[in-house]
């Protein structure tokens, strides 16, 4: 048996494979619900430790539309909660199902699950990476601008998992990502280096937004960061995505946010709901991008 294809950071896909997944996602979106059902007689486990709206619903609906069955498994409902090892859980689940999507608070646990699973493991969110979101982001850029090559995205705010994945997959697709963050909340330096010449970090949000095709932000206080919420809000106050910041970008630039959003904090309501917002396309595109990814991994 060949080794399974995992999707842990997104860099498991070559540039050609990434472009193929994005193009296939666009085909699936244009085709609506009518199409092949390649997951017929397949089951995909959704192992979720963290709350979810877009990730859970888009995976469940996408798996159903591809003809498969989604099994929602909360970690507290499994024997993991009573001390069964991650290795044993991976070995057992691999005997029952065809892929595992995992949303969990410890990236090392995801990596261990992937080491021992004999079926594809998909990162549906960890504190370090959110590659499924980046797939949807690239699809959104592809729709809006016709291609991904040569685009510039300004990411402003917390240098978190969304920023990491946008840099890594953006570089694969030929998209320059300039992240503007406070020094205290800068993205992981090793990930920035891995992303290569197309990724860079600055402190001035206006510098990042200059000439950008898209200006992107995320919440100031992510799950797990609640204990330092006051400090984060103080640091990130100058990084709000508002009309003044968008004015630094191209005239055709779009506004992006991975959601959930807090209007008045990291983004103004005018930007979130305005005519230049691509936010709701991003949210929908989680469905199409993940369908294309599952086709690629299980095909």
Catalytic site residues? Answer: 103, 130, 133, 218, 258, 286
Using alpha carbons, select from 96, 49, 17 the residue that is nearest to residue 25. 17
All residues at 6 or more sequence positions from 36 whose CB lies less than 8 Å from its CB, including other chains: 66
Report whether 100 contacts 135 (CB < 8 A).
no
Cα–Cα distance, 265 to 218 (Å, whole number): 10
Return the number of other C-beta atoms located less than 10 Å from residue 31's C-beta.
Answer: 11
Going edge to edge, which strands form the sheet with 121-125? Answer: 69-74, 43-48, 99-103, 121-125
- Classify strands 121-125 and 99-103 as parallel, antiparallel or unpaired: parallel
Cα–Cα distance, 137 to 151 (Å, whole number): 12
């Amino acid at each position: 048996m060949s080794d399974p294809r995992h999707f842990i950071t997104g860099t498991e896909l070559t540039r050609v494979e990434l472009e193929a997944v994005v193009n296939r996602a666009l085909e699936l979106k244009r085709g609506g619900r009518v199409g092949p059902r390649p997951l017929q007689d397949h089951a995909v486990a959704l192992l979720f430790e963290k709350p979810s709206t877009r990730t859970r619903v888009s995976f469940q609906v996408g798996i159903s539309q591809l003809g498969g069955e989604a099994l929602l498994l909360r970690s507290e409902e499994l024997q993991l909660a009573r001390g069964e090892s991650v290795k044993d859980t991976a070995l057992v689940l691999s005997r029952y199902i065809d892929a595992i999507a995992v949303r969990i608070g410890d990236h090392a646990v995801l990596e261990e699950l992937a080491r021992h699973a004999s079926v594809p493991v998909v990162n549906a969110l960890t504190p370090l990476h959110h590659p499924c979101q980046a797939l949807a982001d690239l699809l959104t850029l592809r729709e809006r601008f016709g291609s991904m090559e040569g685009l510039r995205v300004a990411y402003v705010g917390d240098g978190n998992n969304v920023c990491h994945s946008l840099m890594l997959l953006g570089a694969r697709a030929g998209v320059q990502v300039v992240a503007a963050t406070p020094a205290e909340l800068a993205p992981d330096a090793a990930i920035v280096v891995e992303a290569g010449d197309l990724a860079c970090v600055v402190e001035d949000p206006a510098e990042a937004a200059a000439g950008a095709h898209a200006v992107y932000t995320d919440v100031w206080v992510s799950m797990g960061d609640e204990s330092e919420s006051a400090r984060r809000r103080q640091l990130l106050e100058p990084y709000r995505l508002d009309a003044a910041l968008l004015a630094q970008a191209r005239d055709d630039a779009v506004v992006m946010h991975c959601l959930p959003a807090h209007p008045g904090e990291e983004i103004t309501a005018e930007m979130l709901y305005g005519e230049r917002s691509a936010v709701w396309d991003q949210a929908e595109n989680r469905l199409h991008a993940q369908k294309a990814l599952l086709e690629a991994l299980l095909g």
